[in-house]
Structures are given as structure tokens and as C-alpha cells.
Chains A and B, each alone.
Chain A
Amino acid sequence: MRSVEGVTKENPSPFLIELQDVRKVYPVQGGEVVALNDINLKIRRGEIYGIIGLSGAGKSTLIRCINRLDSPTEGRILIDGQNVLEMNKRQLRSMRRKVSMIFQQFNLLMQQTVEKNIRYPMEIAGVPRAKISARVKELLKIVGLEDKAKVYPIQLSGGQRQRVAIARALASDPEVLLCDEATSALDPMTTQSILKLLQEINRELGITIVVITHEMAVIRQICTHVAILDGGVIAEEGSVDEVFTHTKSAAGRRLFGIVAPESEEVRLESGTPPVRLVFDGEQIPEPVVANLILKLGLPVSILSANVRSLNGKQYGQMIIELPEDPVIRKTAMDFLRQQGVAVEEVHP
């Protein structure tokens, strides 16, 4: 029997990682704090899955549960159909060789050279010496640091250190790469280059990547799917395009800057909700808002605008205010839709 892509007989699920009813509770004096609650996630083989949330949302705890650096209080975490919560120490170690991780602070061995850092995962797995040396060369090439083998981490920039960490993470031929705020300590330019590298790794090596971040740009740039984590629960989940263009949750709106929390009350008082225009990467030849004003003669005020060019496409959003008259509003919104812009009213 031929197997469908990513589906084998032993593991009939297309999902490489599944979190089922995961709950994590920390005991504190006089009670408990719920860090994660009712988390259900399915991550497909070969995708780049983003988990976004503000700090304190529980995203670091969540990603640490996947490779059991942390343990949930309840629930099931399946990797390739195997529940990591039922693994013994030996099984856990071999699972961790298939599920690599990179960190915000890189976490390199500071007393060892770049080469020794990359050798480490292979040495502990008992790979023969000759094989290790050849593999180190390959890995250095993948991350573009061929000339840095004998250098100590202190002599490298943040971006270069993260590249070493990525090479080290790839050394054990993993199926999954977990990225815990991997670009948060880097400047925007370096962030771009690391994100590109992650994308290449995903495409060329077929490694499934799980990204934890608080930056929307990271999600929009490389992720295929996204889950929004808010206060320990998943507020919203779906494909990045879907979630971005039709944001449903309040947490999502906050993260995308659709609703500035402090202005919510003002909008409720005025009665008519503002309107959100989303540019989701489609080519829009005309200056839409200018046309709206000129052609329909409407008084439009722009409340906020944030449009950026990513991968050569226009992404972003604009929040505008339209007159109260429902007929005029409908005309204006239809006009905008004709121009290829996604339009929706924002209900705080």
C-alpha cells in the first residue's frame, strides 16, 4: 500500500505533533496559578507553526511541554503518535534527539569552539568521530559559518551565535525544530536573515518548525499556521492568512493592533464601529482610500494604518471611520471590496 504524503501505516495521522487537553497548573501559596488550560493543537508535518502571545501568555511553558523540559499537569502530548508524557528517561532522550530546540539567548557552550558546540549532540549520541567531523562541515555550510569553526562564541555576533545554535540543533537530524523566541534578542536585519534560514531549513530539509514569538512580523513572514495564546488558553487558531484577515478574538485584535485597548470606550460611545481594511498580499494598483474619498466624496478619517511590504507583497491594515448612515457605509464598504481589500467592521 502506498502511503499518502506524510502518512504512514504506523502513524495514520498527518499531524506530527498533537496536544490534547493540555493543562498546566503551578501551585502557589494559598492556591494555584493556571499557566495553560484546555490546549488543543495539531501541527502538521512540514509546516511552520507559530504560537504568538504577549509575555505571560504561557507560550514558553507550552513549547517546553512539547519536549518535556516542562511537564503539563494534565493532557496528552503526542509526537509521531507517541505520548511524551508516558516516556521513560531513555525514550525521552531519544525523542529529544528528534525534537531540537533553539533559544532566545542561544545557550551555547561558551568555553567551547563553534565546532565543539556543533559536535556536542553527536558526541552524546555516540556518532563515530569521522562521521561527526564530516557532518560538522556540512552543518557549518548550511548556516553559512564555514570559516568560524575554530572560533569561540564570544567572538561572534548575536546572529552568528544563533546560526551556531541552529547548526547544533540540526546535528541530530531532527524532525522538529522548536524555536523559543529565537529572534527576540536580535536586531531587525539579523531577524530577517535568521527567519530566511529557518524557512530554507523547513523547505530543503523538510523539518517541521514550531515558532514561539510575541512579534506578529515573525508569524506573517514565515508561518503557515498560527495559534494565538492569551492568558493560558488558545484564543484563536488557523492558517495565518485566515487568522490575519478575519481576526475573531480580542487577543488577536490586540496583537494585530486592530483595537488599541485605551480607545475602546470611545468607540462604544460613538455607536458606529470603525472599519478595518486588510491588505493581505494581493496587488492593489490604486490608492484605495484616496479613491474612496475622491470618487464617493465621503469624509473618511484614518484612525491607524500599518502597511508593510513583506516578500514583495503588501501586508497590513488600516482602521478608518466612516459616516454613520448605514446606506453610505454599505456603499463605501462595497467599493473597497471591489478594489480587492478585505473589509470588516471592528466590534470591540
Chain B
Amino acid sequence: MTWDKIWPLLWQGTQDTLLMTIPSTLLAYVLGIPLGVLLVITRKDHILPHPTFNMTLGFVVNLLRSIPFIILLVMLFPVTRAVMGSAIGTVPIIFPLTVSAFPYVARMVEGSLLEVDGGVIEAAQSMGSSTFQIIRKVLLPEAMPSLVNGFAICITTILAYTAMAGAAGGDGLGKYAIAYGLNRREYTMMYAASICLVILVVLFQFLGTKVSKMIDHRRR
């Protein structure tokens, strides 16, 4: 394979990878934030204590999280086909990616929200805040730098999932690395696609750290 063939594939692969990664991450957050919030506030020493609910939710999240992505991907084929119209390709793969990532996101969000100082929450309660006001105006804003850091970790993890999805109906850089590089022994293509993935991971992580620091007002 020559570079004039490799470059267009890399470009196409990068686009497809982002097209899978970004919507999946956002959708995973749409589900993961409320779940993460619930995992925190229903703890027994938090603002809406409900130990039974908390335990059940925690169990379900752990269960989902413990299924390896590549297996979940295959298990979900019929569901993905029903929901997305097809089980393979760039857009349909968003579904299993989201399903796989949201429990992970929920745990990341939980971790960030737990960092918020209990005293600040108590102060908000003492001022007559409702549960929803505490979530929206205290928990989430106070945890924002940590949430952004977590977002960078999640998006890079999902990026790695897309590469895995390349082995079973997925698209993007992962597919090119596997289909061309591994199966046809086009090692240049494999390394080139892998380097592109590394660059994307480094870029997201760098941006995440940068933004997290920028919005954190706990530094002088």
C-alpha cells in the first residue's frame, strides 16, 4: 500500500471515528449524569438518602460495566438492528457504544460529585435549597473541573471502544487497522491508523486537562 492510498483512508477513518465517538460520549453523558447524580444523592449520608435504591442502582451499573465491550457489541446485534435499522456501520455502532459507556460515565460522574465538600452541601441545605437546586446550583457547578477531567477520560475510553468495534461491524480507524493492517498484512496501514488513534487520545486528554484547569477557581 502506498501513502497516496493510505492518506485518504486515514482521513476517512478519523472522520468516522469521531462520528462514532462524539455522539456516543454525549449520549452516554445524557444517561450517565442523572444516574451518577442518583448514585450520589441516595447514599445514606447524602441529600436524598435511600439505601435500597442506591444498592440496586449500584448493582445494575456494576453488572452492565462488567460485560466486556466486544461481547456486549455482539450480544446487542439484534437490538441494535431493531433500534438503528442495521447492526453495522458508523451510525448504528453508536447504540452499543452508548449502552456500554453510560454505566462507566455514571461511575465517573459519581466520583466527581463525591469530591464536593459536604460542608458546602450542608450550607446549601441550611439556606432552604430544594434537592434539585442543590444538584443544579451546588453539586454540578462545584464538581465541574473534575467532571471535565472525567469527560476527557470517558471520551478517550470510548475512542478505544470504537477501535474494538472495528473488529465486529464498526467503522473508522479501528476497522482500517484491523481489516487492512492485520488481515492483509499491510503493516504500514496498521501503524498509521494506530498513530492516528494515539494522536486523538492525546489531543482529547490534553484539551480536557487544559479546560478543567481553566475553569477551576480554586487556584489563586
Whether B128 lies near A111 (C-beta < 8 A) is no
Report how far A105 CA is from B119 CA in the complex, Å: 8
Beta-carbon contacts under 8 Å, A68-115 to B: 69, 89, 92-97, 100-101, 103, 105, 107-112
Beta-carbon contacts under 8 Å, B128-185 to A: 128-130, 133, 137-138, 141-142, 144-145
Whether B217 lies near A124 (C-beta < 8 A) is no
Kindly state whether residue B62 has any CB partner on chain A within 8 Å. Answer: no
Q: Which residues of A contact B218 (CB under 8 A)?
A: 110-111, 152, 154
Contacts A103-B123, A107-B120, A111-B142 given; indicate if A97 touches B128 (C-beta within 8 A). yes
Whether B127 lies near A97 (C-beta < 8 A) is yes
Q: Which residues of A contact B124 (CB under 8 A)?
A: 120
Q: Which residues of B contact A109 (CB under 8 A)?
A: 120, 138, 141-142
Whether B128 lies near A152 (C-beta < 8 A) is no
Q: Which residues of B contact A123 (CB under 8 A)?
A: 137
Report how far A110 CA is from B218 CA in the complex, Å: 6
Q: B128 contacts which of A93, A103, A168 (Cβ < 8 Å)?
A: A93
Kindly state whether residue B126 has any CB partner on chain A within 8 Å. Answer: yes
Kindly state whether residue B5 has any CB partner on chain A within 8 Å. Answer: no
User: Nearest-CB distance from A91 to chain B (Å)?
Assistant: 10
Q: List 29 A-B contacts (CB under 8 A).
A: A67-B126, A89-B130, A93-B129, A94-B128, A96-B125, A97-B127, A101-B127, A103-B119, A105-B117, A107-B123, A109-B138, A109-B141, A109-B142, A110-B120, A110-B217, A110-B218, A111-B216, A120-B124, A124-B129, A124-B130, A124-B137, A125-B128, A152-B218, A154-B218, A154-B220, A165-B123, A168-B127, A172-B128, A178-B126
Whether A69 lies near B122 (C-beta < 8 A) is yes
User: How many residue pairs between the two chains, A and B, have CB atoms under 8 Å in the bound complex?
Assistant: 78
Interface residues of B (CB under 8 A from A): 117, 119-120, 122-130, 133, 137-138, 141-142, 144-145, 215-220
Report how far A107 CA is from B142 CA in the complex, Å: 12
Q: Which residue of A lies closest to B125 (CB)?
A: A69
User: Nearest-CB distance from B110 to chain A (Å)?
Assistant: 19
Q: Which residues of B contact A103 (CB under 8 A)?
A: 119, 122-123
Q: Which residues of B contact A100 (CB under 8 A)?
A: 126-127
Q: Which residues of A contact B117 (CB under 8 A)?
A: 105, 107, 110
Q: Which residue of A lies closest to B124 (CB)?
A: A120
Given contacts A69-B126, A100-B127, A124-B127, 10 further A-B contacts (CB under 8 A): A92-B128, A93-B129, A94-B128, A95-B128, A101-B123, A109-B120, A111-B218, A120-B127, A120-B137, A154-B220
Interface residues of A (CB under 8 A from B): 67, 69, 89, 92-97, 100-101, 103, 105, 107-112, 120-121, 123-125, 152, 154-155, 165, 168, 172, 178
User: Nearest-CB distance from B113 to chain A (Å)?
Assistant: 13
Report how far A272 CA is from B194 CA in the complex, Å: 90
Q: Which residues of A contact B215 (CB under 8 A)?
A: 111
Whether B141 lies near A96 (C-beta < 8 A) is no
Report how far A165 CA is from B123 CA in the complex, Å: 9
Whether A111 lies near B141 (C-beta < 8 A) is yes
Q: A107 contacts which of B119, B141, B144 (Cβ < 8 Å)?
A: B119
Q: Which residues of A contact B120 (CB under 8 A)?
A: 107-110
Report how far A125 CA is from B216 CA in the complex, Å: 27
User: Nearest-CB distance from A180 to chain B (Å)?
Assistant: 9
Q: Which residue of A lies closest to B127 (CB)?
A: A121
Which of A67, A108, A124 has the most chain B CB within a 10 Å cutoff?
A124
User: Nearest-CB distance from A108 to chain B (Å)?
Assistant: 7
Report how far A92 CA is from B124 CA in the complex, Å: 13
Which of A96, A103, A111 has the most chain B CB within a 10 Å cutoff?
A111
Q: Which residues of A contact B128 (CB under 8 A)?
A: 92-97, 121, 124-125, 172
Q: Which residues of B contact A178 (CB under 8 A)?
A: 126
Q: Which residues of B contact A92 (CB under 8 A)?
A: 128
Whether A152 lies near B217 (C-beta < 8 A) is yes
Q: Which residues of A contact B142 (CB under 8 A)?
A: 109-111
Report how far A96 CA is from B127 CA in the complex, Å: 6
Q: Which residues of B contact A168 (CB under 8 A)?
A: 127
Q: B217 contacts which of A94, A105, A111 (Cβ < 8 Å)?
A: A111
Q: Which residues of A contact B130 (CB under 8 A)?
A: 89, 93, 124
User: Nearest-CB distance from B92 to chain A (Å)?
Assistant: 39
Whether A101 lies near B126 (C-beta < 8 A) is yes
Report how far A301 CA is from B94 CA in the complex, Å: 87
Q: Which residue of A lies closest to B122 (CB)?
A: A69
Q: Which residues of A contact B219 (CB under 8 A)?
A: 154
Report how far A92 CA is from B122 CA in the complex, Å: 14
Q: Which residues of A contact B126 (CB under 8 A)?
A: 67, 69, 96, 100-101, 178
Q: Which residues of B contact A165 (CB under 8 A)?
A: 123
User: Nearest-CB distance from B83 to chain A (Å)?
Assistant: 38
Report how far A97 CA is from B126 CA in the complex, Å: 8
Report how far A67 CA is from B219 CA in the complex, Å: 33
